[in-house]
Amino acid sequence: MGHDARLATGGLTPMVGHGRRDQVIAAALAALAGYVDAIGFIASGGLFLSFMTGNSTRLGVGLSQHGPVAALAAGLLGAFVAGVTLATLVGGRLGRRRQRAQLLLVAGLLGLAALAAAAGQTVPALLLAATAMGAENCVFEAGGDVKISLTFMTGNLVKVGQRLARALDGGNRWDWLPYLALWLAMLGGAAMGALAWTWIGLGNLGIAAGIAAALAFALREDE
């Protein structure tokens, strides 16, 4: 993809360039991110496990007000970046089989988070879950660049607006739908996470781990 094309798409390969199977798995992962994010939001009192823009704002506010929230926000940001780094290293060593390994990494990190939560270690559980969400973002990447954004919903909503404008200007009428589907998937996942919180709290991270593992084996062997 040329420089101009990359600028036009915000550096991301269009969702419409992916097969239906990829789009379904991407939507499932967006829902998983929403599920985990809602659990973390409730457990931490207003911080996020996948939405790092929100944590960056909370960090800035916390620093300006000398609030204790700044330390946890900074920790979650660092954990998320560590997850991206770890998953990228794993992917770089496994080539065509990288996606399954990366999703199993996500599942393992979420499983460890659930164990930490069961032991009463809330902060380590949140940090491990944020690491998992960072790793999840690497599942659809190529050449070091993200192809489908699974947690950055602001970017996906921008693409909805851009493609609606193109549709109104005579372009493809439905190119905006896959991006809207990602946003709706994350919204639905967040709603389910919030509802599930009332039953088993942070124990829901174990359910999230199982979902990530199931998605890993839903991938084709040659991916």
pLDDT, tens digit, 9 for 90 and up, residues 146-156: 667 777 787 77
Domain spans of the chain, in order of start: 19-218
Whether 102 has a pLDDT exceeding 60, the answer reads yes
Mean pLDDT value across residues 41-69: 91
HSE value, Cβ hemisphere, 13 Å, CA-based, for 149? 20
Whether 131 has a pLDDT exceeding 70, the answer reads yes
pLDDT, tens digit, 9 for 90 and up, residues 71-89: 999 999 999 999 999 999 9
Residue 112: which pLDDT band, with cuts at 50, 70 and 90? very high
Whether 143 has a pLDDT exceeding 80, the answer reads no
Cα–Cα dist 183/157, whole Å: 7
Cα–Cα dist 208/213, whole Å: 9
Q: What pLDDT is attached to residue 220?
A: 65
Q: Look at 194 and 140; give whichever has higher pLDDT.
A: 194
Q: What pLDDT is attached to residue 144?
A: 57
How much is the mean pLDDT over the chain? 85
Which residues make Cβ contacts (< 8 Å) with residue 12, sequence separation at least 6? Answer: 145, 146, 147, 148, 149, 155, 159
Whether 192 has a pLDDT exceeding 90, the answer reads yes
Which of 1-5, 84-88, 185-189 is predicted with the least confidence, judged by mean pLDDT?
A: 1-5
How many residues comprise the chain?
A: 223
Q: What is the pTM of this model?
A: 0.84
Whether 5 has a pLDDT exceeding 50, the answer reads no
Whether 27 has a pLDDT exceeding 50, the answer reads yes
Cβ burial 206-218 (10 Å sphere, 16+ → b, else e)? bbbbebbbebbee
